[in-house]
Structure formats: structure tokens, C-alpha cells
Amino acid sequence: MSLLLDVTGLTMRFGGLLAVDKVALRLHEKEVVSVIGPNGAGKTTVFNCLTGFYQPTSGQIVYRGEHLEGMKGHLIARKGIVRTFQHVRLFKDMTVVENLLVAQHRHLDTNFFSGLLNTKRFRKSERSALEFAKYWLDKVGLTEFANRKAGNLAYGQQRRLEIARCMVTRPEILMLDEPAAGLNPRETEDLDRLILELRDQEDVSILLIEHDMKLVMGISDRIYVVNQGCPLADGTPEQVRNNPEVIKAYLGEF
């Protein structure tokens, strides 16, 4: 398994506040890695740094031998690192299919004139985009809602659509920010299955922030624990579960 993402000494400072302090993180191909920690520990800030929404104060982010720090968010996304958000961010007034078509923007024929003249090449590229959208709608079970406005879907469906929207960009790394938040136990089980399916069948590596310990412990290959911006521990679920410091800071006594 080759190394995909190598983060070292990642630090993010907002004025006097040290939100993230020398966090290190490694992600290999076809791996599910989780980042856990109490609220306000800086997990989402780490995500924001990795995806270019924040420019990290210092530290290195190396993706397949290429430095990403300082790169703009949309360029990082084009390299194959996409994310979902803690609060669902769909294009609410657009239909479900349109959400998936927007996400395929850079794989489409965006030439102004071929679109204006509706050339054969343009139609072909639109058709293949629709078919790819259909493939993912089937995967996340939203085909029957294809022409529904995204904002009118149930919350669990919106979550799934957001994942599908990331997947149609054909990413290598999928970053999920609390994907199980607000889901009922059954939906969480479905999510569990979906994430494993993404890893095993679609060859994506997954970086996960989550508070649902059952989910995290069940599917993670490795876990990083962050507390108050500092890395606290890392290792396999078994190692983390039995680490006394993690229990004290986050998990609590069972």
C-alpha cells in the first residue's frame, strides 16, 4: 500500500488562538482513517487546512509527492481530494441530478461554442455525465428522487447525496466530516456499509471525522485522536480504545 497523503507538523493559528498544533497524519491507498476528539479539538480545522479552505500557518501537506500547502481549494479538489461538510451543503434549489452534474463540471465539455451549438461531442459528454450520475444515484438509493429539489430530501438522503456528489468528481481521497451526525441507527448502518463499499469497490481512501464510536471503531484501519489542537494518540482501533489518555480525554470510562 503506497502512501497517499503525508501531513507533518500542521499548525493553524488564528491570531492568539492555536487551533491546530503540529498535527501529523498519514493516509495510504484504500484505507479508512478516522480523526476523533472532543468538540472544539480542531478536527474540522485540520480538514479545512487539508482542503485549502484555510492556509495553514506552518507544516507540510504532501499528496503523492506534491506539496499542497498554500494551494487554492478548488485546485486541491481537482487533484482528487474532496470533502463533505459538517452541515450539509447541497445546492438546495437545484434538482438531485443537477447537483451531480455540477460536480462533474471539469469532466464535461465546457467549450463555450460546442455547448452553444450543441455539437455531437457536447451531447455525448452530457449523456455520459447523466449516466454516471445515474450510476451513483443507484448506489446511494436516490434514483427515484432524481428530479426532486435537493433541499426537499430527508436529512439522511441529503447526507447520501452529498457523498454521491463528491464521488462523481472521481476523487482519490474522500474526506467525510461527521457523516453520521443526525442519522438514525439504521441509516448509520447503511452509511457504514457505503463507506466500506467505497473503499473496496471504488478504490478511494477515506478520511473520517466522527463521534459515533461504534461506526469509527468498526470501519477504521487507523485512528488519530486530537485534543485541544494537539495530537494525543494514534493507532489501530484496539490500541486507541485501550489508551488511558484517550479514555481520560475523550472516550470516558466504559
Q: Point out which residues bind other proteins (CB under 8 A).
A: 51-53, 72-75, 77-78, 82-83, 85, 89-95, 97-98, 101-103, 105-106, 108-110, 112, 115-116, 118, 122, 126-127, 130-131, 134, 137, 143, 146-147, 149, 165-166, 169
In the complex, minimum distance from the CB of residue 125 to other proteins, in angstroms, rounded to a whole number: 9
Q: Which is nearer to other proteins, 18 or 102 (CB)?
A: 102
In the complex, minimum distance from the CB of residue 47 to other proteins, in angstroms, rounded to a whole number: 10
CA 213 – CA 118 distance, rounded (Å): 51
Q: Which is nearer to other proteins, 92 or 193 (CB)?
A: 92
Q: Which is nearer to other proteins, 52 or 229 (CB)?
A: 52
In the complex, minimum distance from the CB of residue 185 to other proteins, in angstroms, rounded to a whole number: 28
Q: Which is nearer to other proteins, 39 or 118 (CB)?
A: 118
13-22: Cβ within 8 A, 24+ apart: 13/57, 18/229, 19/45, 19/229, 20/45, 20/46, 20/49, 20/56, 20/226, 20/229, 21/229, 21/230, 22/59, 22/230, 22/231
Q: Which is nearer to other proteins, 107 or 241 (CB)?
A: 107
In the complex, minimum distance from the CB of residue 175 to other proteins, in angstroms, rounded to a whole number: 9
How far apart, in Å, are the Cα atoms of 76 and each of 9, 27, 92, 156, 208?
19, 16, 24, 27, 18
In the complex, minimum distance from the CB of residue 68 to other proteins, in angstroms, rounded to a whole number: 14
Q: 93: which residues sit within 8 A by CB, 6+ positions away?
A: 149, 150, 151
Residue type, 212: D
